[in-house]
Amino acid sequence: MHVYVIAASGFGPSKVGRSAKTEERRRGLQTGHPERLVTYYKVRTRDENESRLVEQLAHRSLRLVRSRANSEWFEVPTAEAIIALRHAATVVAALRDPGTTLDEIGRKAVVSWLKSIEDHRAALDDEGLDSTTLDELQALKVLDVLACSQCPGLCSFSFNDYIDTWPEGPWHRAIRQSRGIGRPSGRSFAQYLDVADISREQGADEGAHVARRWIEFGVARDLTDSECASLQSVWNTFADRYTTIERKDPYIPEHGRDDRVDDVELFAQVNDPDRPSRQCAVFYHEHFRAVLLPQQRIELHSYDRLARSMLRPLSGQVRGFIAPVVRDALWSEPPMSWLHQAPKRRDAALTHFLANPSKRYPEIVDREPVEDGTALALVHNELPRIDLAASW
């Protein structure tokens, strides 16, 4: 397979596409085209999946100069289309290197991109030319590239189920609603990239980290029946302890002390804003994030008449999934190595947690009042209370 740049002249517009037989594709495009088309550049890829990824990433670099929505034609000279294509192919090839860390890949990608832009500007200056589109080209973010290379995890839940348990969920929902963008299907990371770009532009880091969430979900799996039952038992014991502590005035449960079992943080969360009674239980550890979803309508969190937080037990049948957690250590490892080791660390941490016969639950003891303690019993997945019109 090849990814190519085809155009009628070096001044563009340029088409970036992929084909196993580039010349046959060019002749097919020639039909009905008034000018003679030329293949200006092509790069060989290992297989169809890699060609699709390289093409997708090249399109992303050129997205601000796309001729029209969902088109493979871009209003740039062929030299600039080639810069974007080479950049995409170089980053994708670097991800396969078993000895190069993600940080090294990112730095090399930036240096290569800047050199290509600088060389092109110098060539234009030598010819007394200028470009009105060069500044519109976008360098790729290596974490986005890694996410684009990943398929959804082998579990029966969707990415939307997962992202809604993170701060990225409400941010993305707020942006989509403010822009009239429909909810993505969860089958392709590209559907979330535009919203992540808007989050970055507005300085909203919570929405920009969606690439990490997609990478995690790419190696997610369903929880077994036994794991679900064990986590359900842990939740039910924890919920009773937490609610008792919440009712022991005059202090508020402390984050990091009263919302943990061993080193696992527990909280209930609205997983589907259209069905607020559908809540899930989240178990957050350094190496895993496990989510339990009850199969019946249930409220795991509520408030009593004194506005005190109450956690309810998980009753009935539950299902769930588990994913590893991307941390900064990812940057110090070769990405393929991390993707291979992360599920092992995830499963080992979960096994250790469940097998511990003397888990440390929140203690029901008298303590001094906490003036500004905060409980992380529930993270409401509601729209951020901000002026969308003013912010976006």
Mean pLDDT, rounded, for 382-390: 37
pLDDT above 70 (res 312) = yes
Domain boundary at 122, 148, 174, which? 148
Say whether both 370 and 349 belong to one domain: yes
Q: Which residue shows structure tokens 């999946």?
A: 49
285: left (phi over 0), alpha (psi -120 to 50) or beta: beta
In order of 17, 111, 134, 203, 374, the CA distances from 116 in angstroms are 21, 9, 11, 28, 50
> CB-based contacts of 153: which residues, under 8 Å, 6+ apart?
217, 218, 219, 220, 221, 321, 323
Say whether both 240 and 350 belong to one domain: yes
The reported pLDDT for the residue numbered 133 is 87
153 domain-assigned: no
- Judged on CB neighbours under 10 Å (0-12, 13-18, 19+), 27 is exposed
Other beta carbons within 10 angstroms of residue 221's beta carbon come to 16
pLDDT band with cut points at 50, 70 and 90 for residue 367? low
Say whether both 209 and 259 belong to one domain: no
| Torsion angles phi and psi, residue 355, rounded to 5 | -80, -10
The reported pLDDT for the residue numbered 216 is 92
Say whether both 10 and 127 belong to one domain: yes
Say whether both 272 and 323 belong to one domain: yes
Tell me: cis bond preceding 250? Omega within 30 of 0 counts.
Answer: yes
Give me the residues paired with residue 43 across strands.
3
E strand or H helix that includes residue 352: helix 335-355
pLDDT band with cut points at 50, 70 and 90 for residue 321? very high
Domain count, the chain: 3
Q: Dmax over Cα atoms in the chain, in whole Å?
A: 84
Say whether both 164 and 134 belong to one domain: no
Between 385 and 7, name the one with better pLDDT.
7
Determine the Cα–Cα distance for residues 250 and 241; give it in Å rounded to an integer: 16
Say whether both 87 and 177 belong to one domain: no
The reported pLDDT for the residue numbered 169 is 82
150: left (phi over 0), alpha (psi -120 to 50) or beta: beta
Say whether both 95 and 181 belong to one domain: no
Q: Which residue shows structure tokens 């034609």?
A: 73
Say whether both 198 and 290 belong to one domain: no
- Could you list the residue range(s) of the whole structural domain that residue 312 is in? 221-379
Domain boundary at 170, 188, 220, which? 220
Say whether both 97 and 113 belong to one domain: yes
pLDDT in tens, 150-197: 887 778 888 888 988 888 887 788 788 888 878 788 778 877 887 777
The reported pLDDT for the residue numbered 342 is 92
The reported pLDDT for the residue numbered 284 is 95
Between 295 and 15, name the one with better pLDDT.
15
pLDDT in tens, 237-287: 999 888 888 777 555 666 666 789 999 999 888 655 555 546 889 999 999
387 domain-assigned: no
pLDDT in tens, 138-148: 899 898 899 98
Say whether both 111 and 244 belong to one domain: no
Say whether both 245 and 360 belong to one domain: yes
Strand 318-323 and strand 38-44: the pairing is: unpaired
Strand 264-270 and strand 378-379: the pairing is: parallel
Mean pLDDT, rounded, for 283-306: 83
pLDDT in tens, 67-115: 886 689 999 999 999 999 999 999 999 988 888 899 999 999 999 999 9
389 domain-assigned: no
pLDDT in tens, 13-64: 999 999 999 888 888 888 878 889 999 999 999 999 999 999 999 999 998 8
Domain boundary at 168, 201, 220, which? 220
Highest mean pLDDT, choosing among 266-280, 292-306, 314-328, 342-356: 342-356
pLDDT in tens, 211-223: 899 999 999 999 9
178's tokens:
């403010």
